[in-house]
Structure 1
Amino acid sequence: MKAFATLADIEALERAPLATLAPNRTPYQLIRAIAERFPDREAFTFLPDASLDTPPQRVTYRELLAHIHRAANAFRALGVHESDTVGMLAPNTPEAHAVLWGAQLAGRVCPINFLLQPDHIAALLKASGAKVLVALGPNAELAVWPTALAVQALHATTLVPISVDEPVPGTPSLQDLMAAQPDTLTFEPDLNPDRVVALFHTGGTTGAPKLAQHTAGNEAHTAWFAHAYYDMDDTAVEVNGFPLFHVAGAFVYGLALLAIGARQVLPTLSGMRNTGFVKAYWQFCERERVTHLACVPTVLASLLGVPVNAKIEGVRAAFTGGSPLPAELAQRFETATGIPVRNILGMTECAGLVSIEPLLGPRTPGSAGLRLPYTEVHAVPWRDGEAKLGERCAAGETGVLVLRGPHMSPGYLDAKRNAGLFEHGWIVTGDLGHIDDAGRIHITGRAKDVIIRGSHNIDPGLVEDAFMAHPAVLQCAVVAEPDAYAGEVPVAFVVLRAGVGVDADGLLREVAPQVYERPACPKRVVLVDALPLTAIGKVFKPTLRLRAIEIRLTEIAQGLAPDRAVRVDASDEGGRQRALITLAGAADEDLSQRLRAALAAIALTVDIRFG
């Protein structure tokens, strides 16, 4: 398939039937086809630790396919059939890939964030109908096993450890179960591309996390077409430090490379959270002949602090998604490293991809790239709290983005949760934006309340529930605060009950343990006398988002100019947030440049003035 540069390239491709260009319509068929073509090529390079002296674990495509077969056979032997689920609590390792794709053959898979609270994980497993839970076993780096034991006490399943440092006495490991199975399938798998093969949890925008259903065809569609945007072939090598419970690790940066026979470098059990690996990042890139980087904006910001102490001329691109990409951050990264940055827009509900900015095209500030082939993406008017699906916005006109296509999930496992997102055959993303004359998709804001911290979607309603359970809290509203590292972090605005004596820090300490996952815990609590309300008495969060911007930017500016008075005024112009920072005193170009550098990683238009 020829690499894409423009929308015309995609439209030319679409003149052929989809079945002609994408004959393999399931993840298994994609992997099997490549394993038959390149059996001895390396699929994974797993780094056991952050030392350049430690030999990596190398897995070929022949071995990967055998591992998938053995895992599928093992799950079938444990009683897993097409309508049954295998839960997974594990980082991105070769063994976890065997589980992810093998479980889809035997039944279906439900990868879960191991940072969630045990009761939350147990609820997801119960909803999914999980018969088996595979979890990372005891080890010195990542404490998943204690969480798995706590989960099993809440939801009884067959618990299978992935053996790492030490065996679990009396419990066969995944490796033991796989070793007892042949390396060819013992059953005939159902390879219907319309069969639901995976359940991925997402915070969504309201209520408890939801389980989005993926068909085999959904996943294969995003994976097969992605490489034409990345300009990759089978010689590509990518650093994929994303977890498999996230669609980026599994599909956007995972299956997309498996589908073409490329190689993934998997950096330790902790992924990009391993600070030792991050410090040696460029040296690993040189050693492993890396060509592409899988990132989110927070990773780009982290890598800017790592000296380029290796030969990285072979790195062709850094692709980033998960949260808005600040144009100044992308420019600084490109200037410092010489590596082009390209943006991605994705959703759990469409197997990870909406659009990609092609490597062969220009980086356009604010653009999330071009839609996938054989899909539709439109901006439609947002009025009276809903998307007007029968209308279309003109090129450049802001609306809410909607989409449909072969990658579109059939909906949430609990169909009652579909309202507001799955509407009349469309996904209503909740993202405000427009499509320009060249077909590029631009995100300018959100019509809904979800907070994106790094690559975590955080439901503010669940965080608010944790605060409202505290006896001192009368009202609470949680919104996004801009953050140079994480993109956004939650901040809680709280009205206290009359006569209570708790302060903001004390309240946060008491509530934090009750928040459903660590990334969802607010960075700060702001005590207020009243929350802004609409005419019908609903909390008006746009005002609080602007207040959160003002608080954070004031902190940053005051930190750089402690002797000056600082005023920050934030505003919202049709979904585009911007801020004016006014610093008292004479103009100071050096201070202005330092302030702009400090704000470069924040996806916000900022003006600075003195006086």
Structure 2
Amino acid sequence: MSLRTLADIQALEAGGFNAAYPQRTPWDMIRSSAARAPDDVAIRFLNDAADPARDTILTYADLAASCMAAARGFRALGVVPGTSVAVLTQHTPQAQIALWGAQIVGHACPINPMLTPAHIAALLKAGNAAAIVITGVNAEIDYWTALVPALRAEGVTLPILDADADAPCPGSDGSLTDLIAANIDGADITPDGDEHALAAYYHTGGTTGAPKMVRHSRLNEAHVARSCALLHDLGPGDVVVNGFPLFHVAGAFVYGLSTLSAGGTLLVPGRLGMRNQTFVRSIWQQVERHGITIIGAVPTVLAGMKSVKINADISSLKYFLTGGSPLPTELAEASEKLTGKAVRNILGMTECAGAIAVEPVAAPRTPLSCGLRMPFSELAILGETDGEADPNKRLGPDETGIIALRGPNVSAGYSDAARNAGTFLSGGWLVSGDLGRVDDSGRLFVTGRKKDIIIRGAHNIDPQMIEDALLAHPMVETAAAVGMPDAYAGELPVAFVTLRTGDDAPDGAALVAFLKGRLEDPVALPKRIEVIDTMPLTPVGKIFKPTLRHQATGWAILSAAETAGLGPGDITIAPGETTIISAPSGQCEPLRAALAGMPVSFTVKERSAS
């Protein structure tokens, strides 16, 4: 059945969980698809987006056999229940095999390979890793050469296998290719435990500091995969572009396992994913060539596609799926006008395996909505007690509060239970940290990130309001609004934009003038709009606002310095949790006085003599 409304979800639930979710683990989903259609293509990997003859193709029979072979090999390396295989790779067929093979014999521990070696070493220990798989030396992206020696220097003695290498990999304990080939035959391994057993640790919490490790059960991952397949109406004929890394829940489950569970084909655009410019610049030809039906992309990538001229038959394409950040209405409308294809939004987080709400593809798009809750889950908008979300203060339709959820997609918590406070509450509730509302049709709307809200005096400003208005300008490609510290107001709104190429590019002042009269709340008018060449992004393409906040903080400090009689060349600023400001001898006290009242954690110190 096609799910269009909350009533459809409730009808599905009336039939019982077993009927709606016949496979409860990722491995059951993969082997079920392999049994149903062994010769269908599970994964098509583009080694060269310009040369389809070089594509790597894995059928479902290939995928299932390779996952089991990897599991046998991992077991021989000492991976048992309670231990993990750490997967530090680009999204490739071998990465998929390592991820699911690890779950057969133990659990997986996908890690962003761009983290610092010390950070990775700490994650390996926290994830109880027994073996490591790392993308080997290649011409496109080589972190092996620096990372492996650095991990050894950090005291990591575990076996390290190379995957997808194009050249010799110094320090390798063997290749994943050889391990799979050597173990393709043998007795099948039966996974220990049931659907509630540990499937994976996924790290979260950003790219600095000690990130939290989220405990995923097999059911968490399978529930999200099946739910997304239902709400996205996925089937064996679908070809889904998935350029997300597998250490990100969207790549692994929302777009990945969902497609595999439905018997569709994952099209992976090379090691670089959606940063593969050859692929993105030829996206419409790729649609025609491969019969692509669905493209998954964060809003920034979706915005970039608008500048690519449609020069091919894209009739196979049904819709775009996006998430990771709010979907501006202007972007959705412009994409739909250009292509004639629907755009649908997703809201998720690592703590619930990637999906809180999904816009059904069978229903019309509702501007600014993230869609409906997952089947068999519960979605609530909570009020606060002493600044914390309170499950006993559930708000009604269209009341704004903190988004919370519970259900089969919700993790049991972090590997360090001491970090659960404020996020995992009693009663099974997960607090998302987003502000939002649910209308009387069950549709979820995110109105802001609680920590992203700009507070000017006692007035809350939603940065998305500013961003949406800026994106209505024909020359603006991406936009991000943040709060700039201010001693009087607490914060003032400022914004950053990147522009499309073309004549008559506006400057910041012109964009401020453009926004006048366009914002529902006049106090949301940015005090400054900065045009920048590139927007800082996370590895999966989300706008990384901490970098922008640091820049805005720098502006505020420079303004305070001018009040103290100092010029830009007189001080240096080192951003961080505590901003370090160096000033000339004798000028520290006037600078401290000028900064008084500004909501910035700072230290002013005397500049060392040069």
For the pair 1:15 / 2:11, whether they are aligned, the reply is: no
Shift in Å at residue 204 of structure 1? 6.2
Aligned to 1:434: 437
What residue number does 2:190 align with? 188
The one-letter code sitting in structure 2 at the alignment partner of 1:377 is: L
Which secondary structure does the structure 1 equivalent of 2:451 belong to? coil
Change (3 A) 1:206 1:125: closer
Structure 2 residue matching 1:368: 3-state secondary structure: strand
Q: Check 1:562–1:117 CA distance in 2 against 1; reply closer, same or farther (3 A cut).
A: closer
Q: Aligned residue for 2:62?
A: 63
Q: CA–CA distance in 2 between the matches of 1:421 and 1:52? A: 47
- 1:12 partner SS: helix
Query: 1:144 Cα shift?
Result: 2.5
1:360 aligns with 362
Tell me by how many angstroms 1:490 deviates. Answer: 9.7
Count of residues paired in the alignment? 509
Q: Structure 2-normalised TM-score?
A: 0.77
Q: Distance in 1 between matches of 2:424 and 2:477?
A: 28
User: For residues 132-180 of structure 1, what are the alpha-carbon distances to aligned partners after superposition, in whole Å with 9 as ceiling and x for unaligned?
Assistant: 1100000000112134312232141211101421233563201111111
User: What does residue range 225-264 of structure 1 map to in structure 2 within 5 Å?
Assistant: 225-264=227-266
Partners of 1:327 and 1:11 lie apart in 2 by 28
Bigger mean CA offset, 65-74 vs 172-181: 172-181
Alignment match, 1:77: 76
Structure 2 counterparts to residues 515-594 of structure 1, below 5 A: 543=491, 546-549=492-495, 560=506, 566=512, 579-580=524-525
Structure 2 letter corresponding to 1:154: E
Is 1:282 the counterpart of 2:284? The answer is: yes
Per-residue deviation, 1:568: 8.9
Whether 1:291 and 2:237 are equivalent positions in the alignment is no
**TM-score, length-normalised on structure 1?**
0.77
Structure 1 unaligned spans of 5+: 452-478, 494-527, 534-539, 584-600, 603-611
CA contact (8 A) 1:205 1:450 kept: no
Whether the 8 Å contact between 2:48 and 2:54 is mirrored in structure 1 is no
State how far apart, in whole Å, the 1-side matches of 2:331 and 2:118 are.
Answer: 38
Counterpart in 1 of 2:598?
A: none
The residue correspondences of 1:103-252 to structure 2 (distance < 5 A) are 103-149=102-148, 150-156=150-156, 157-168=158-169, 171-183=173-185, 185-203=187-205, 208-252=210-254
Which amino acid counterpart does residue 284 of structure 1 have in structure 2? Answer: Q
Q: The residue matched to 1:445 in structure 2 has which SS?
A: strand
Q: Cα 1:447–1:486, aligned 2, differ >3 Å: closer, same or farther? A: farther
Distance 2:386 2:522 in 1: 21
1:508-567 per-position Cα deviation (integer Å, ceiling 9, x unaligned): xxxxxxxxxxxxxxxxxxxx7x7679xxxxxx6xx2xx4333x6699x9x9516896956
Deviation at 1:383, TM superposition (A): 4.5
Counting only pairs closer than 5 Å after superposition, residues 488-507 of structure 1 correspond to structure 2 as none
Residue in 1 that maps onto 2:317: 315
1:170-214 superposed Cα distances (whole Å, 9 cap, x missing partner): 632011111111345543321411111101111169963111010
Instruction: Structure 2: give runs of 5+ residues left out of the alignment.
Output: 455-462, 529-541, 544-610
Distance in 1 of aligned mates of 2:119 and 2:347: 27
1:429 and 1:577 map into 2 onto residues whose CA distance is 29
Matching residue of 1:3: 2
Task: Give the share of equivalent positions with the same residue, in percent.
Answer: 44
Q: Which residue of 2 aligns with 1:597?
A: none
Q: CA RMSD in A?
A: 3.3
> 1:362, 1:246 → 2: CA distance?
28
**Distance in structure 2 (CA, Å) of the matches to 1:388 and 1:410:** 19
**1:374 alignment partner, one of 367, 373, 376:** 376
Distance 1:205 1:60, change over 3 A: closer
Match of 1:396 in 2: 398
Name the aligned partner's letter for residue 429 of structure 1. Answer: S
The alpha-carbon deviation at position 53 of structure 1 amounts to 4.9
Preserved CA contact (<8 Å) 2:68 2:189: no
Residues 454-485 of structure 1 show CA distances to partners (whole Å, capped at 9, x for unaligned) of xxxxxxxxxxxxxxxxxxxxxxxxx9996979
Q: What does residue 455 of structure 1 align with?
A: none
**What letter corresponds to residue 238 of structure 1 in structure 2?**
V
Gap change, CA 1:390 and 1:205, over 3 Å in 2: farther
The 8 Å contact of residues 481 and 493 in structure 2, kept in 1 or not, is answered as no
What is the deviation of 1:267?
0.4
Question: Which residue number corresponds to residue 561 of structure 2?
Answer: none
Compared CA separation, residues 398 and 41, structure 1 to 2 (3 A): same
Q: Which residue of 1 aligns with 2:100?
A: 101
Q: Which residue of the partner structure matches residue 513 of structure 1?
A: none
Pair 1:122–1:78, CA change in 2 (3 A): same
* CA displacement, residues 26-84 of structure 1 (integer Å, 9 cap, x when unaligned): 00001111100100000011000221354311110000001100111111000010100
- Determine the C-alpha separation between the residues in 2 that align with 1:577 and 1:295: 33
Find the aligned partners of 2:334 and 2:309 in 1 and give their Cα distance.
Answer: 14
- Structure 2: distance between partners of 1:383 and 1:340: 40
- Distance change (3 Å), C-alpha of 1:206 and 1:379: farther
Contact 1:568 1:582 in 2 (8 A): no
Match of 1:519 in 2: none
Q: What letter is aligned with 1:94?
A: P
| CA distance 1:247–1:370, change in 2 (3 Å) | same
How far apart are residue 492 of structure 1 and its match?
9.8
Partner of 1:327: 329
- The Cα shift of 1:129 comes to 1.6
